[in-house]
Amino acid sequence: MRVLKEKDRILYDKLVRLAGGDSGIVIKVLSNPHRSSVDLKTAVREIEELRNSRNRTPASLAPQAAAV
Amino acid sequence: MSIAWATVVIVVLLLPGFAFFWGLYAPNQVTREVSPASPLTQLAGVVIISFFVHAFAYLVINRGLCVDFLSFPVPCVDFDELSALVRIDAFTLPGTAPATFRDMLDFYIFWIVLYFLATGAFTGLLGFGAGKLIENGHLRGFTRHRYLFLLEKGRKSEESELVRAHVLSRTQNLNTIIFYDGILQDFFAKADGTISYIVLHDANTSVMEITASGPAHSKNTIPLDVESGLRTTKPFLVITSENIANVYFEPLNTVRIESEADAEMLDDAIDRLEQSEGEAE
């Protein structure tokens, strides 16, 4: 049973690209428990804010990104 | 031969019931995938529905349609001929009168085909309507595994509804268990409603350690998709039931795209970001 629509997958991938490849940022924006929906404009703004704030965070304080 | 012929006739008579279940499964994949859990019950349903449809059609035709005042004569249903039709012997026994049933079939073939088309279409549409009601949550008594419909809801929605799945695997080393999370892409349930396999998009892996004070989830997650770039087919993770302890489904906020301008704005923002990254390098 297909759950993820193709257009939704494309949108999600675009949001991850906007987040600089950090899907955690996208998940954080879309997991807001105080709302059930968000308009794309607001989501983009929040993703950019989070991305920029993480970029400003010194690397030593940022969580260690692991890779396989 | 007579048994085979009787079987053919009975299967044809059961067509309305089969059409009903075809219509019932048509609107969604969930019922199609999990309903044959009880084929015997379904066969009983086919027989019962066919019986009532034929009884209803008999009543309508013989009491309403095959009367003289209609501009075109609709033939009445002759139950004696119908019951005799089940016995192929009536056609083939040596020494019997000429094949009266063949003449009957030749004469009424249009009406017989029209009858089965009409009853099949009627029950098919009836089943389709019932399927839509089940899908929309109105016939809750018929919904065996409601969570499957909740998962399928996002696919049918016009808006972007994503579901994140957190999968606790059975892969473990001492007290440490592998944990996966990602956007739910595909899902398949067995007939009893348990998970057969799930497919995750943009999957990550992490570990969970069971300690004396409770489970502790690792702070870092490792993306499995490290460098997929602009490949057309994105990587995905398939986890089968053998490796799934349990799954936590988390519907994410629905993303509303209110105008085309919003989508263009997103594309522009990505272009700006990637241009600035290119210049920085």
pLDDT band at B232 (very low <50, low <70, confident <90, very high): low
pLDDT at A65: 44
Q: Would you call B180 an interface residue with chain A, using a CB distance cutoff of 8 Å?
A: no
pLDDT band at B125 (very low <50, low <70, confident <90, very high): very high
Inter-chain touch A63–B220, beta carbons under 8 Å:
yes
Reported residue count of chain B is 281
pLDDT tens digit sequence for A6-40: 888 889 989 988 988 888 899 999 998 888 888 88
pLDDT at A68: 36
Q: What is the mean pLDDT of residues B98-105?
A: 67
Interface ipTM: 0.81
Of A7, A38, A68, the CB nearest to B222: A68
Question: How much of chain B exceeds pLDDT 90, in percent?
Answer: 19
pLDDT at A6: 84
pLDDT at B278: 73
DSSP H/E element including A46: helix A40-56
Inter-chain touch A17–B224, beta carbons under 8 Å:
no
pLDDT band at B98 (very low <50, low <70, confident <90, very high): low
User: Which residues of A make CB contacts under 8 Å with B?
Assistant: 1-5, 7-9, 11-18, 20, 23-24, 27, 29-32, 35-41, 43-44, 48, 63-68
**pTM for the whole thing?**
0.67
Distance of CA A61 to the CA centre of its chain: 20
Chain B residues lying within 8 Å of A52, measured CB to CB: none
Inter-chain touch A39–B164, beta carbons under 8 Å:
no
Per-position b or e across B168-180, b if 16+ CB within 10 A of its CB: bbeeeeeeebbbb
Q: What is the mean pLDDT of residues B253-271?
A: 86
CA distance B74 to B114: 11
Contacting B residues, span 238-277, partner chain A, CB-CB under 8 Å: 250, 252-258, 262-263, 265-267, 269-270, 273-274, 277
Inter-chain touch B253–A17, beta carbons under 8 Å:
no
Inter-chain touch B253–A38, beta carbons under 8 Å:
yes
Chain A residues lying within 8 Å of B30, measured CB to CB: 1
Return the closest-CA partner of residue B12 out of B105, B117, B104: B117
